[in-house]
Structure 1
């Protein structure tokens, strides 16, 4: 089952997917604080097998990067 990046992040943050956009990210969304980012990273690790390290924590701090990664994995951006 392919999960959209918006659905993945919304579930991790326990928020409405409609509240997210490509500009959402760490400290740029009411629910995406440091603890929310940890939940996002854990969800990315589970779904995509992303290793959690200093580089990935910074890279995936923005919805646009998560969308780009998803697109590269599935050929589908949304």
Structure 2
């Protein structure tokens, strides 16, 4: 385990996390996100985390349409 905690943990652990965040930011900003359904069709189940669900469905889902930006 290269990023294992403890006295012999990887010294580049924090840098690797920052690099992944940067990569994810650059990939995500190239798309436009829109809901694929009306907002009225969604509700959120509360618990430790709020999870979006479609009304009448028992699955956790948030349908979106991704459009690449030119």
Report the TM range for the smaller structure's normalisation: under 0.3
Greater relative contact order (CA < 8 Å, ≥ 6 in sequence): 1
Q: TM-score, normalised by structure 1?
A: 0.23
Higher strand share: 2
Q: TM-score, normalised by structure 2?
A: 0.25
Q: Which has the greater radius of gyration?
A: 2
Higher helix share: 1
